[in-house]
Amino acid sequence: MMPSPTNNHLLVQIHELLHKHFSLEEFRDLCFKLGIGYDDLAGEGLDAKMREFVARMDRESRLDDLLAFGTRLRPKVTWPEMAAPVSLEAAPTPPLTFTRNPNQIFLSHAHQDSDFAHRLAADLRTHGCDIWIAPDS
């Protein structure tokens, strides 16, 4: 799985920090502490192993663990901040807004009041109201 484009800059930044601040043995130790076998990482050479390590931590949603260990082991290095993950599936749907139109009126009536209700509806329409009258009241 390829890293998402939104994470790519962050992944490159972490990879560069690891490459700059960790020797081979220190990186092997970091892998061990995070439960990842150095020899299980794809790639030839330290740079490729570090790249695969960062990508794997991203795939496993463990970048926060990696950054926490990096900060603890190299406190003088400026490590990137993890932004809160954004998921479109988890995003709350915005509340539906309904603008009430006070000129829309529903008119319901008893059968025996039909004539009066229709006169009232006609009068309200002349004053700009939008009337919906129950058909078989």
Give residue-wise pLDDT tens across range 60-70.
999 999 999 89
**Residue 100 corresponds to which amino acid?**
R
Q: Which residues of 78-116 are buried (b: 16+ CB within 10 A; e: fewer)?
A: ebeeeeeeeeeeeeeeeeeeeeeeeeeeeeebeeeeeee
pLDDT band at 6 (very low <50, low <70, confident <90, very high): very low
Predicted TM-score of the model (pTM) = 0.56
Q: In which band, very low, low, confident or very high, does the pLDDT at 74 lie, cut at 50, 70 and 90?
A: very high
Tell me the C-alpha distance between 67 and 15, whole Å: 11
Report d(CA 137, CA 97) in Å as an integer.
Answer: 31
CB atoms within 10 A of CB 122: 11
Residue 116 clears pLDDT 80, i.e. is over it:
yes
